[in-house]
Structure 1
Amino acid sequence: MTIDKTLKVKRGATSNRSVMTRVERIQKLREGDRWGEEASPFGLPKVRVRKLQMKKKKKTKKDDDDK
């Protein structure tokens, strides 16, 4: 029996995670100066996860006049 096309994972395909680990959240809070050394690692405030979208490059037309 074969695997359906929709279930196959493409090579190198990685999806964006919507959840960060505690260490990642603390690092983001430190970057934004929202974390102090006395603060408890429990009950951390929410940290927004930014999803990056790469824009496709526009194809340039080759001019036949230059040749």
Structure 2
Amino acid sequence: MSEREFHCDNCEGVQPFEAPPCADGHGADCPELVCTGCGAAVLIATFAFRATQLAGRRRRPPAHRRAA
């Protein structure tokens, strides 16, 4: 079991979280974590992306309109 510290809303503070035995085969990288203080469960969703993918999605400033 791996152990990490996160803020727990139920305990109102930083608590150690551990990954329970994973039936999906994730091992220590299991996204499901359980607070060792109160038993609250959380799911950590991680993903990776390239910064170049965001370059084409930048917002452009609105076009200025002229009164007729």
TM-score range, shorter chain: under 0.3
Higher percent of residues as strand: 2
- Name the larger-Rg structure: 1
Higher percent of residues as helix: 1
TM-score by length of 2: 0.23
More relative contact order, 1 or 2 (CA 8 Å, 6+ apart):
1
TM-score by length of 1: 0.24
